[in-house]
Amino acid sequence: MSSLKDKRKEYLTVKDLQKVLDSCTLQLNQIDEVWPNIYIGNVAVAQNKASLLKLADDSTHFDLDVYFKPAADFIHKALKSPGGKVLVHCIMGMSRSSTLVLAYLMIYHHLPLKKALQKLIQKRAIYPNRNFLALLLDMELQLTRKKKTCQIL
């Protein structure tokens, strides 16, 4: 029975991640630097507010995961350029934008999701919705499997 309980603790749940997020004591600002040269902000700091408002569907069923790799690639390429800085924004700067930054940290800095969350909440009050957390957990499993497969080869 003990080994079954240990196996269950091996995997994080959305609830586990929400506990990490709930530990954040920061106030929400319009913009914060959450990683060197990466900023998360809300719509007030963006130039084209009307276009952003049209795209502001933070539905619990939105498939943001199709944007994880392209957004991470964009951030990585921008940061590699001389003086490169990136503003990742959405309407509130809490869910969609932070999810894309978390995906970047997981893909390019090989941070586990929980550690990436802990790093960001030291710099900004974020709260990805449950669907986005579940999508990030799925990606973490895929990245872990890929890493294990590469080690075997």
Q: Which residues are catalytically annotated?
A: 90
- Displacement of CA 139 from its chain's centroid (Å): 11
- Nearest CA to 101 out of 51, 33, 11 is that of 33
Integer Cα distance of 71 and 90 in angstroms: 13
Q: What are the C-alpha distances in Å from 125 to residues 48, 86, 94? A: 23, 18, 7
